[in-house]
Amino acid sequence: CAYCSRGGGRPRQRSRGRLDYKAIKAFVANHGNRLGSKTLFKVVKKGHNTGRDIERAGLISWLVTSKHVEDVNAVDKSGRTALFYAMTPLVATTLLDLKADINIRDRSGAEPLMAHRDLEIVKLLVERKAAVKGWDNEGNTALTNAIEAGDASLVEFLLSAKASLTSVNNLKETVWHHAARGHDSRTLEALLCRKTDMRCPDINQADSTGSTPAMVAAASRKRLPVLLRCVSERQVRETNAVGEEERIGRTWVGMRIRMTMTTHD
C-alpha cells in the first residue's frame, strides 16, 4: 500500500521510487511541524519525474505556506537548503517564490548556483540575481565547476553572464587548469573562442605546485590536441618566434604531446 497507517507510520514510496503526495500531506498534517523540513527535502530531491512537477510544486508550496515548514531556508547536515537540490525549473521557481535565499552558502562556501548543472535552473538563478562571480571556500566558482564538469553549453552561458575568466582558486589554478582536467574537449573549444579576451589568463600560467595546464592535460590524450593548438596559437600570436615553441617542445610535456599527436595521426 502507498500509506502505512499501522502505528502512525510514515508514508511509503510507491513502486519505482514514486512518492504518494496525498499520503505525505496527510502524514505531515497529523504530525505537525516536527517532520516538515525533512519532508520538504525529500520531496525536492525526488524531482526526477517532470510529469509530476505541478503536483510536487503544489505540495512544496503547501508545506511552506501552511507553516509545516517553519523556514524554507532550513539547512541539512551539509548546510544546504532545499534550493540546492531542486531538480526542475518549476521546483526551483516555487522555492524562490517562497523566499528561498538565492545566495545562501553551504558549509563548503558554495552557493546554489555553484551546485546546479541544469542549464535552465542556472538561467533562472542568474535571472533572479544570483552572484555569478561568487566563490566557495576553495576559491572555485560556478564557471570553474562547469568547466571541470565538461558542460560546454553551461560554460558558454556563464561567460555570457559575465562570469570571471580571471578567477584563481586557492591552489592558483586558472580556468585553463580546470579545462585541462575536465571531461569534455568541447569545453576547451568554448574557451578557445575567448582566447583573445584580455581578461583571459595566460595559457602557460602555473599553479601553486608549478604545474601548467599542459602538464595537467598530459594525463588525457583526448584533451591534449586541443590544448596544444591553443598553446601554439597563443605563442605564435604573442612571440612570433620559432625559438619559444622549440623550447616548449623540448620539455617532457612537449614530448608527451608530440607522442600523442603521432598516435592520433
Highest mean pLDDT among 83-92, 189-198, 247-256: 83-92
The string of pLDDT tens digits covering residues 134-145 is 999 999 999 999
Pick 183 or 253 by higher pLDDT.
Answer: 183
Residue 45: strand, helix, or coil = helix
Q: Which residue has 552557493 as its cell numbers? A: 111
B/e letters for 91-125, b = 16+ CB within 10 Å, e = fewer, are bbbbbbebebebebbbeeebbbbbbbebbebbebb
Give a yes or no: residue 257 inside a domain.
no
Highest mean pLDDT among 8-12, 39-43, 47-51: 39-43
CA pair distance 146, 108, nearest whole angstrom: 17
Highest mean pLDDT among 29-33, 137-141, 219-223: 137-141
Contacts 24+ apart (CB under 8 A), 244-247: none
Provide Rg for the chain, Cα atoms: 24
Give a yes or no: residue 115 inside a domain.
no
Give a yes or no: residue 118 inside a domain.
no
Give a yes or no: residue 206 inside a domain.
no
- In this prediction, residue 18 has a pLDDT band, given cuts at 50, 70 and 90, of low
Give a yes or no: residue 57 inside a domain.
yes
| Residue-level pLDDT at 251 | 47
Give a yes or no: residue 74 inside a domain.
yes
Closest listed residue to residue 75, CA positions, set 47, 23, 111, 127: 111
Average pLDDT of span 106-123: 96
Give a yes or no: residue 65 inside a domain.
yes
Give a yes or no: residue 147 inside a domain.
no
CATH for 6: 1.25.40
Pick 185 or 138 by higher pLDDT.
Answer: 138
Instruction: Flag whether pLDDT at 222 surpasses 80.
Output: no
Mean pLDDT of the chain: 78
Q: Which domain holds residue 79?
A: 1-102
Instruction: Flag whether pLDDT at 252 surpasses 90.
Output: no
Average pLDDT of span 210-221: 80
Number of domains observed in the structure of the chain:
1
